[in-house]
């Protein structure tokens, strides 16, 4: 049987691009016996193409029914297909997003589904086995993009190609985002410089910079993952995006209160012999709460805006999220430190 020749070398943005045109269709007045002959005569281009549905259209080409080959075999040969076809149709819109379509049809047991245009005219067949490849590719792309591989190139690369690419190509895939992250990191460092005097007075403030950055990074990644995945699978749309956003912000606050309490407690215990231990613990607490809330909010909002502007939300959001949450959280942390610890200055 061997592997099929067909290969999805392109990135499909619309269901129509993975639609197969190898199918058998007849009009509704066709006799069952004639429809069976159509199947016998049908010569698929590829040996492996299995075509086991008969699609029934009206004279304008609009899909009106479907029959499986088994149903066809069980029907009397001189009846017309209209009397036996199933009219409760499940169709896919040619303009639908393939990943969304895949999620929609994943729990249905059809090896192929008819694809129709906006007038209901049958334009082809979507084969579930082709969708498998699309989903695998899209999932890989989403994962690579959210790890900062430059998104224009990822679309052209097969995932296997990324492992085997030449070193210059790998660098071109990986470096752009890293350079943006470098700029963001230096900007965050600039915030610390603004509060250089405060830091000189209480060097211990520097000990909590890593934990604030780590927490923001993790919380932000969780929030953006929830948004990007929910969007890709069609669970988040315009109607409920605001509700999930409010929820995400509230969860960020709860996480911040829990993490902030633990972190603040640890800071107090660690620096308990210093005169400013209590103030420092409060600064760490507020810093951690702030970073969790800010990271949740920007982790959700930035991919959302990217998507609204027509960009891929899985790509190019993360360095922005990182920079915004780092700069905001470090500003709040050092500003509060400057206020609470000012008698030490």
Number of H helices, E strands in the chain: 12, 6
* Residue placing its CB nearer to its own copies in the complex, 97 or 130: 130
* Residue placing its CB nearer to its own copies in the complex, 27 or 221: 221
Contact 341, 202 (CB under 8 A): yes
Nearest to 302 by CA among 245, 224, 230: 224
Residue numbers 273-332 binding its own copies by CB under 8 A? 319, 322, 326, 330
* Residue placing its CB nearer to its own copies in the complex, 59 or 96: 96
CB of 301 to its own copies, least distance (A): 16
Contact residue for its own copies among 32, 54, 131, 306 (CB under 8 A) = 131
CB of 75 to its own copies, least distance (A): 11
3-state secondary structure of 65: strand
CB of 14 to its own copies, least distance (A): 18
- How many chain residues touch its own copies (CB under 8 A)? 120
Nearest to 109 by CA among 53, 56, 48: 53
* Residue placing its CB nearer to its own copies in the complex, 59 or 290: 290
Sorted by sequence, the CB contacts under 8 Å of residue 2 that are 6+ apart come out as 48
Contact between 251 and its own copies by CB under 8 A: the answer reads yes
- What CA–CA distance (Å, rounded) separates 32 from 75? 7
* Residue placing its CB nearer to its own copies in the complex, 59 or 184: 184
Contact between 130 and its own copies by CB under 8 A: the answer reads yes
CB of 235 to its own copies, least distance (A): 5
Residue 24 φ then ψ, to 5° = -110, 125
Contact between 242 and its own copies by CB under 8 A: the answer reads no
What x-and-dash track marks residues 82-101 binding its own copies by CB under 8 A? Answer: ----x-xxx-----------
Neighbours of 63 (CB within 10 A): 20
- What CA–CA distance (Å, rounded) separates 103 from 108? 10
Instruction: Select from 11-19, 54-62, 77-85, 224-232 the region that touches its own copies (CB under 8 A).
Output: 224-232
Neighbours of 212 (CB within 10 A): 22
């Amino acid at each position: 049987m061997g592997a099929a020749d067909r290969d999805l070398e392109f990135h499909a943005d619309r269901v129509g691009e993975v639609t197969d045109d190898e199918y058998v269709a007849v009009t509704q007045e066709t006799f069952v016996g004639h429809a069976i002959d159509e199947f016998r005569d049908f010569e698929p281009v590829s040996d492996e193409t299995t075509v086991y549905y008969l699609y029934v259209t009206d004279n304008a080409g609009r899909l009106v029914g479907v029959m499986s080959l088994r149903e066809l075999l069980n029907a009397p040969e001189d009846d017309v297909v209209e009397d036996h076809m199933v009219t409760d149709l499940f169709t896919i819109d040619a303009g639908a997003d393939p990943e969304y379509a895949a999620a929609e049809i994943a729990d249905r047991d059809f090896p192929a589904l008819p694809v129709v245009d906006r007038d209901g005219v049958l334009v082809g067949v979507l084969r579930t086995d082709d969708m498998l490849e699309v989903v695998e590719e899209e999932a890989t792309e989403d994962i690579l993009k959210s790890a900062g591989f430059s998104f224009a190139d990822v679309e052209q690369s097969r995932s296997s190609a990324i492992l085997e690419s030449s070193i210059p190509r790998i660098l071109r895939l990986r470096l752009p985002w890293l350079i943006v992250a470098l700029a963001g990191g230096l900007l965050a460092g600039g915030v610390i410089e603004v509060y250089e005097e405060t830091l000189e007075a209480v060097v211990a403030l520097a000990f909590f910079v890593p934990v604030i950055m780590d927490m923001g990074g993790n919380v932000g990644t969780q929030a953006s993952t929830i948004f990007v995945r929910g969007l890709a699978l069609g669970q988040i749309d315009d109607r409920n995006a605001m509700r999930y956003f409010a929820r995400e912000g509230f969860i960020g606050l709860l996480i911040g209160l829990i993490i902030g309490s633990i972190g603040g407690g640890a800071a107090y215990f660690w620096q308990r012999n210093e005169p400013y231990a209590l103030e420092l613990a409060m600064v760490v607490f507020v810093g951690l709460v702030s970073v969790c809330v800010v990271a949740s909010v920007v982790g959700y909002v930035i991919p959302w805006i990217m998507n609204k502007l027509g960009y891929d939300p899985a790509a190019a959001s993360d360095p922005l999220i990182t920079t915004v949450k780092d700069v905001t959280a470090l500003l709040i942390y050092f500003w509060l430190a400057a206020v609470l610890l000012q008698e030490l200055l």
